[in-house]
Amino acid sequence: MRFERGRSYRLRFSRLKRSHWHAPRTRTLFTRPAAPPRRVLLIRLGVVVGLCVLAFAVLYLDRKGLHDATKETLGVIDLMYFTMVTVATVGYGDIVPVTARARLIDAFVVVPIRIVIWFVFLGTAYQFVIQRAIEEVRMKRLQKRLQDHVVVCGFGLSGSVAVRELLESGFDPDSIIVIDPQQAALENATALGVAGLLGDPSREDILQQAKVRHAKAVIVTVADDATAILLTLSIRSIAPDTKIVVRIREHLFQRQLRQAGADVIVSSTKIGGLLLADAVESRYIVPLVNDLLSARGRVNLLERSAKPEEVGRSSNEITGLLVVALVHEGRMFSFYDEPPRTIEGGDILIVMESNRSRRAEQA
């Protein structure tokens, strides 16, 4: 590949076939209850009991406006009975409001309380019965399609950039699942067209739902490095063969992450510091690296197997691209400290290739 003076070149990774990507409409959000079901039920039961007590208190204060067929003044038991049948909309007609004030209280106090209580009942039934059944059906449909997918644990700044970069690189949104405990973060993720699981990614049941055992890779971008180590251990115990990519803040935790089973470790603090230091004496290195790591540009940096027509040729004789490094039997030979090597079958090539020639080859 020839570089001409005066022309600008951008570089990017390329792993899959690329197509112009647009953010689609929000897809289905696969959720799990943020709070334990028992706690939610107790809270809602407390709301219902509180509303019933409020209705009873209001009716008790205006008990003289209520009459039944036998006596003028109603007792506490009668008022409790009338409160329950009224908020439940049963109403047998044996106790009725006879004054204008009692009817207004029933219309503007008791009826709204009744509506709120029924909304609580309907919402509870939907969340714990209907919605759960729908979510289970959707999750089973999703899991049937999950194979060689990418699981992203944590949708913070790094996680969102990683998901967008995967989409720009040509990954199918259906093959990406984001796990995050924050509802707002997950809604931002599903707005990109990927599937989402609401919950703690360190929980084994959530990881099982995402089928990490059958995933192509798991990207860990949680906020805390200690959590990243524990999450890596959990993932590795479930998926011994899945590739795990971990983003950490402190470079000091690399040894623990290696022992936990991480395959690739990215230290955002170290990378950022190196770029900052280089920017002191240079002007173009940082923009060049940013273009190299971006999914947009005119030049691709990609890792691929040697093609049959390239086997037997020298690494510096391949036209239309620049072989940056060659991996033979697990050992990397770089162009800057190794002489050109003859390409053999099974070798891995790391090449810089013009995006224009790549498009022409795909066409």
pLDDT at site 314: 86
Could you please state the CATH topology (level 3) that the domain comprising 16-30+147-273 is classified under.
Rossmann fold (3.40.50)
The DSSP 8-state label assigned to residue 305 in this structure reads: E
276-335, pLDDT tens digit by residue?
888 888 888 887 777 766 766 666 777 888 888 888 888 888 877 888 888 888 888 887
State the span(s) of the chain assigned CATH 1.10.287.70: 37-140
The CATH architecture one would assign to domain 298-362 is 2-Layer Sandwich (3.30)
pLDDT at 36: 66
Report CA 330 to chain centroid distance, whole Å.
34
Cβ atoms 327, 347 nearer than 8 A: yes
Q: Structure pTM?
A: 0.62
How far apart CA 284 and CA 237 sit, in angstroms, is 44
Query: Which pLDDT score is estimated for 361?
Result: 57
How far is C-alpha 52 from the chain's CA centre?
40
Q: Decide: helix, strand or coil at residue 352.
A: strand
Using the Cα atoms of residue 155, residue 161, residue 164 and residue 167 in order, give the sign of their dihedral. negative
Q: Which CATH architecture has domain 37-140?
A: Orthogonal Bundle (1.10)
What confidence score (pLDDT) does residue 15 get? 43
For residue 238, which phi and psi values (nearest 5 degrees)?
A: -85, -40
Spatial neighbors of 184 by CB under 8 A, at least 6 apart, are none
pLDDT 10s digit of each residue in the chain, 363 long?
Answer: 443 444 433 434 344 444 444 555 444 455 555 556 678 788 888 998 999 999 999 988 888 888 886 666 688 888 888 888 888 876 777 788 888 888 888 888 888 998 998 888 888 777 777 766 666 676 677 767 778 899 999 998 889 989 998 888 888 888 899 999 888 888 888 888 888 888 889 888 889 888 899 999 999 999 888 899 999 999 999 999 999 999 988 777 888 899 999 999 988 888 888 888 888 888 888 877 777 667 666 667 778 888 888 888 888 888 778 888 888 888 888 877 778 888 888 888 888 777 665 555 555
And the tokens for 178? 């984001």
Of residues 297, 296, 294, 278, the one with CA closest to residue 286: 278
Q: In the chain, which residues fall in CATH 3.30.70.1450?
A: 298-362
User: CATH 3.40.50.720 in the chain, residues?
Assistant: 16-30+147-273
Write down the pLDDT at residue 362: 54
